Amino acid sequence: MNAAAAVADLISALPEGAVDLDPGTRERCSHDDAEWADFGIPSAVVFASSAEDVAETVRIAARHGLTVVPRGAGTGLSGGANATEGCIVLSLERMTAILRVDVDERYAVVQAGVLNDDLRRHVAEVGLWYPPDPASQSISTIGGNIATNAGGICCVKYGVTRDYVLALTVVLADGRIARVGRTTAKGVTGYDLTSLFVGSEGTLAIVVEATLKLLPLGGREERAIVGYFRSLTDAGRAVAAVSSAGIIPSALELIDRTCLDAVAAWQGWALPEGASALLLAKVDEPGARGEELARRIAEAFATAGGSQIERATDPDEIARLFSARRLAYPALERLGPVLTEDVCVPRGAVPEMLARIERTAADEDVVIANIAHAGDGNLHPLIIAPEGDDEAMRRAKRAFDRIVDDCRALGGTVTGEHGVGLLKLPGAAEELSPVVLDLHSSIKQALDPQGILNPGKAFPNGA
């Protein structure tokens, strides 16, 4: 490994301004939003403008034995974009072109650095819709969404990022450019390399361009239904009742008391006495059918003991009802650094999982607030530790590990939508059997024998 020689080669091979050695830039690009995970400082940050820039960077890094850590907007929460000391951070944030929108065939071709919301807005102008809606949608890139197979609120009904990726252009570990997938609605020619690359966190290849399936924008009408519950068990019963009624809502979110308190204290709201949780649902079927589903969800809420049940169809009113969800994260960040958990359990295990998280918070003496995509069992316990309190941070990390253990005990998976990155490596080691870990190592070895692409992420690689 010869970082200086590699940097010199990069500077001479790449367009002017592509290689940034500024200490501030290297610091800024040294990690994603998982500041609790380890990271080093890169030798250089390359801002690629084209697939060829990416390929050239990978070739040069490979020649000098440097590792390459790809990076979108750095909004990840698991450390998947955290730099290794002396690596090349390869930023795709300048690759923001929306190359093509095919209205008739309903797909878009975009560079990896396009922001999720920018794509959404762009295709809406021609009556199309890109459903995946991670909470970071206004600041995260499509490439990052693909690297982590990002979820979001509407995926309970509309699926996750992988369900919308038809084809990818990637740069391989040897610098070759490969195009995998198809643009047709169906296709089974060869292995599904597209799905393999989605969610692989840049450890098998670097995504430079994606062909994304779109849906018609029209034909939907949003209706919101919200209600408070005196216990997490009651809220869990409401979720189960919606599900067993055969209703698939377009959103079904839960916010617990700790979270509500933080929002209420910030916004000066009064909460209903004895409320332990708020459920927020949406349906989007148009007309009488949507009306019927909204009514049935409201009934399910009421039967499960819900109170202050409200319904809305006006977009502003829907936004008001969902404001607690929107304000939850910033409200909690006011209390201290937030360690964001991401576990997914069977839908029916959500109340038990929340009860266990409550016990963990008490036992470890940390504040844990909960936002949950209740409709698909995906919980985001938010563990808060006061700034600068090292002992509290240790307790927070213990709580994090205990939540992962409890999730596994309830038949869950250690990451629902944020990715393994670095933070979930111990959890992944528990979840994936030795033979499945061997499969991971074999595939990594086959596609990146030098181990230069984002080493140490996505799965525990003992090799």
* DSSP symbol at 84: P
When the beta carbons of 45 and 379 are compared against a copy of itself, the nearer one is 379
When the beta carbons of 386 and 426 are compared against a copy of itself, the nearer one is 426
Cα→Cα distances 317→11, 323, 381, Å? 53, 10, 27
In the numeric block, which tokens belong to residue 445? 């070895």
When the beta carbons of 95 and 167 are compared against a copy of itself, the nearer one is 167
CB of 280 to a copy of itself, least distance (A): 18
When the beta carbons of 86 and 451 are compared against a copy of itself, the nearer one is 451
When the beta carbons of 100 and 334 are compared against a copy of itself, the nearer one is 100
- How far, in Å, CA of 194 to CA of 128, rounded? 23
Quickly list DSSP for 123-145: HHTTTEE-----TTTTT-BHHHH
- How far, in Å, CA of 162 to CA of 159, rounded? 8
3-state DSSP assignment of residue 47: strand
397: exposed, middle or buried (Cβ count in 10 Å: 0-12, 13-18, 19+): middle
- How far, in Å, CA of 196 to CA of 24, rounded? 35
CB of 378 to a copy of itself, least distance (A): 5
Contact 323, 396 (CB under 8 A): no
**Dihedral (Cα; 137, 32, 68, 97), 10-degree rounding:** 20
- How far, in Å, CA of 18 to CA of 237, rounded? 54
When the beta carbons of 42 and 80 are compared against a copy of itself, the nearer one is 80
Q: How many CB atoms lie within 10 A of CB 263?
A: 23
- How far, in Å, CA of 404 to CA of 408, rounded? 6
CB of 292 to a copy of itself, least distance (A): 8
When the beta carbons of 8 and 248 are compared against a copy of itself, the nearer one is 248
CB of 20 to a copy of itself, least distance (A): 30
When the beta carbons of 264 and 432 are compared against a copy of itself, the nearer one is 432
When the beta carbons of 10 and 345 are compared against a copy of itself, the nearer one is 345
CB of 84 to a copy of itself, least distance (A): 20
* Total residue count of the chain as it appears in this document: 463
Residue in the structure block whose two tokens are 């029916």: 348
Query: Residue 110 pairs with which residues in a beta bridge?
Result: 98, 210
When the beta carbons of 406 and 417 are compared against a copy of itself, the nearer one is 417
Residue in the structure block whose two tokens are 């301004």: 17
Contact 64, 6 (CB under 8 A): yes
* Angle of CA points 300, 305, 308, to nearest 5°: 90
CB of 363 to a copy of itself, least distance (A): 25
CB of 24 to a copy of itself, least distance (A): 32
CB of 195 to a copy of itself, least distance (A): 3
Contact 224, 318 (CB under 8 A): yes
Q: How many CB atoms lie within 10 A of CB 387?
A: 9
CB of 446 to a copy of itself, least distance (A): 4
CB of 183 to a copy of itself, least distance (A): 7
Pairing of strands 98-102, 88-91: unpaired
CB of 117 to a copy of itself, least distance (A): 21
When the beta carbons of 129 and 266 are compared against a copy of itself, the nearer one is 129
Query: Residue 384 pairs with which residues in a beta bridge?
Result: 338, 367
